[in-house]
Structure 1
Amino acid sequence: MADIPRTALERVLARASELQTTTPEGAESVSEERLLEIAKEVGLDLAHVRQAIAEERARLPMSETESGPMLDSLGPAALGAQRTVPGTPDDILRRLDAWMPRMESLSTRRRIGDRQSWEPRHDPFGNFLRSFGVGGRRLDLVRVDQMTASVTAVDNTRSVVRLDADIAGMRRTQRNQAVALMALLVLLWGVAAVPVMFLVSTGAGTGILAGISAFVGGAGFFVWRALRRAYRNSVDRMHLRLEQLLDELEQDRLREPLNLLQKVVGQITAR
């Protein structure tokens, strides 16, 4: 979106202040028509304003997620990607809903208006796909808790598509694995250190105990780094996949693999 000149910005702020003082008590929203009128008054491009409104409506309300030093250190608990693509909301959601079960192993969860969500398949075949992928391609989105697409029309030919992936469960799992492995290291330290403690009083076991402690501490540090790196690599792959889905929507390529897959299934059925 183009930059707003300072003179226009001053008019926007002045008009917004005026609007607030004239808005009835308790009213916390402004209609889209009123907002467009204000934008027109201050000389903003209405096409840009409509796109900004569509992008804002596509955003999901932020939900509180579990936090903590270890969880926050691992990385984000949610991912999102957004773009304006050709098509109407109904057409885009229909294409996504046909794509997700076949190519991403995600089953439909719920649709409300122009927002639809999917979740990983929980059947044995879905578990197999999660392990081995499809056609040599890794299924990077099968570890999400929920995948949501929000589509808002900009005009008759374009829509803002926002894809949100909730990965809080994957982050908790990685944290729990780190805690379990570190607890195991502490247990091993205790098993190895107890016999040495009897020698500490004589001074002979001090160096051995220090060596065991250093080894366990170093092992715990490298275990944590490895798990954090693995989580962040998974996050990067998931985010890349979200962007690739938007690429395919933007270039209208989602239909091509589906048409090919339907032909193959039809040939197998005919035999």
Structure 2
Amino acid sequence: MADIPRTALERVLARASELQTTTADGVESVSEERLLDIAKEVGLDLAHVRQAIAEERARLPMTETETGPLLDSLGPASLGAQRTAPGTPDDILRRLDAWMPRMESLSTRRRTGDRQSWEPRHDPFGNFLRSFGVGGRRLDLVRVDQLTASVTSVDATRSVVRLDADIAGMRRSQRNQAVALAVLFLLFYAVVATPVVFLASSGVATTGILGGLAAFVGSAGTLTWRALRRAYRNSVDRIHLRLEQLLDDLEHGRLMEPPNLLQKVVGQITAR
């Protein structure tokens, strides 16, 4: 029997999976042991398969988010990043839980197994930190609705770490600002156009005035919408960058026990 070339292996496995799901007697799931046996039979590296399984388990279940033309045009409602880092799930989550309140102004929300979530602090000191920042940088993660870390063990010394940030609230807020400004522009047009219409009833040519006013309001609305969308996407980029930076620190062992945040802020104020 002829061997299957490596370039065709992915297509064969994908097609086999498709056929499996379309058969009447197809099973809904397969055990990890059986999957490893299949991988071994087709010549896949078991270490890579175990890591792929860990990455899949680290993913959060997909949740439905609010959609719409304005919301979809703004950008995504959630962000995610993942990396393989040294350490056990307990060790990594312990370091993250020590870091988030002190350095990101996030408070612990819930811990379930190898998954933990945080949310922005809702207190006067937390609001002060959001405006002041830490170490000369902005606290970008305080704009998320929730940050979730999912850590799945690959082997005794490595784990897959996935960070998911829910930013649906920030996206809705930006959409609401756009709608409110659009209403204001329409009210402005109505207030200014009303006396112009009365002039038209008196025989004064006002078509050019109304056309110019409509063009002005339309241009102002378009520029405002673009500015809001650009601001949102800049925030998305900063949040995603911060997630990647946290994973970089975990991967290279730099995310250790942080200093006391209050002492750090007081030291910065004193230095000024």
What is the TM-score of this pair, normalised by structure 1? 0.89
2:242 maps to which residue?
241
Secondary structure at 2:148's aligned position in 1?
A: strand
Asked whether 1:154 is paired with 2:154, we answer yes
Give the counterpart letter for 2:136 in structure 1: G
1:122 maps to which residue?
122
- Give, in angstroms, the shift of residue 204 of structure 1: 2.1
Quote the Cα distance in structure 2 between the aligned partners of 1:207 and 1:24: 69
- Give, in angstroms, the shift of residue 200 of structure 1: 2.3
User: In 2 relative to 1, CA 207–11 (structure 1 residues): closer, same or farther, beyond 3 Å?
Assistant: closer
For the 8 Å contact 1:11–1:42, the answer to whether it is kept is: no
Quote the Cα distance in structure 2 between the aligned partners of 1:184 and 1:7: 59
- Give, in angstroms, the shift of residue 61 of structure 1: 0.9
Give the counterpart letter for 2:252 in structure 1: Q
Quote the Cα distance in structure 1 between the aligned partners of 2:123 and 2:217: 40
User: In 2 relative to 1, CA 217–140 (structure 1 residues): closer, same or farther, beyond 3 Å?
Assistant: same
Asked whether 1:35 is paired with 2:45, we answer no
Secondary structure at 1:198's aligned position in 2?
A: helix
Quote the Cα distance in structure 1 between the aligned partners of 2:249 and 2:108: 20
2:233 maps to which residue?
232
User: In 2 relative to 1, CA 18–42 (structure 1 residues): closer, same or farther, beyond 3 Å?
Assistant: farther
1:131 maps to which residue?
131
Structure 1: state its 5+ residue gaps. none
The alignment yields a C-alpha RMSD, in angstroms, of 2.5
- Give, in angstroms, the shift of residue 76 of structure 1: 0.3
For the 8 Å contact 1:130–1:142, the answer to whether it is kept is: yes
Quote the Cα distance in structure 2 between the aligned partners of 1:102 and 1:157: 27
Mapping 1:24-103, distance limit 5 Å:
27-103=27-103
Quote the Cα distance in structure 1 between the aligned partners of 2:52 and 2:177: 42
- Give, in angstroms, the shift of residue 24 of structure 1: 10
Secondary structure at 1:141's aligned position in 2?
A: helix
Q: Deviations over 1:235-259 (max 9, x none)?
A: 0000000000000001111116x1x
Range 10-19 or range 244-253, more displaced:
10-19
Quote the Cα distance in structure 2 between the aligned partners of 1:136 and 1:57: 36
Structure 2: state its 5+ residue gaps. 268-272
For the 8 Å contact 2:20–2:26, the answer to whether it is kept is: no
Range 127-136 or range 67-76, more displaced:
127-136
User: In 2 relative to 1, CA 18–239 (structure 1 residues): closer, same or farther, beyond 3 Å?
Assistant: closer
1:200 maps to which residue?
200
For the 8 Å contact 2:109–2:118, the answer to whether it is kept is: yes
**What is the total number of aligned residue pairs between the two structures?**
260
User: In 2 relative to 1, CA 18–37 (structure 1 residues): closer, same or farther, beyond 3 Å?
Assistant: farther
Quote the Cα distance in structure 1 between the aligned partners of 2:200 and 2:19: 78
Quote the Cα distance in structure 1 between the aligned partners of 2:41 and 2:67: 45
Quote the Cα distance in structure 2 between the aligned partners of 1:91 and 1:27: 36
Secondary structure at 1:67's aligned position in 2?
A: coil
Asked whether 1:180 is paired with 2:180, we answer yes
Secondary structure at 1:51's aligned position in 2?
A: helix
- Give, in angstroms, the shift of residue 130 of structure 1: 1.3
Quote the Cα distance in structure 1 between the aligned partners of 2:209 and 2:189: 12
Secondary structure at 2:213's aligned position in 1?
A: helix
For the 8 Å contact 1:12–1:42, the answer to whether it is kept is: no
Give the counterpart letter for 2:178 in structure 1: A
User: In 2 relative to 1, CA 14–244 (structure 1 residues): closer, same or farther, beyond 3 Å?
Assistant: closer
Quote the Cα distance in structure 2 between the aligned partners of 1:18 and 1:194: 67
For the 8 Å contact 1:55–1:160, the answer to whether it is kept is: yes
Quote the Cα distance in structure 2 between the aligned partners of 1:101 and 1:7: 49
Percent of pairs with identical residues: 75
- Give, in angstroms, the shift of residue 42 of structure 1: 1.2
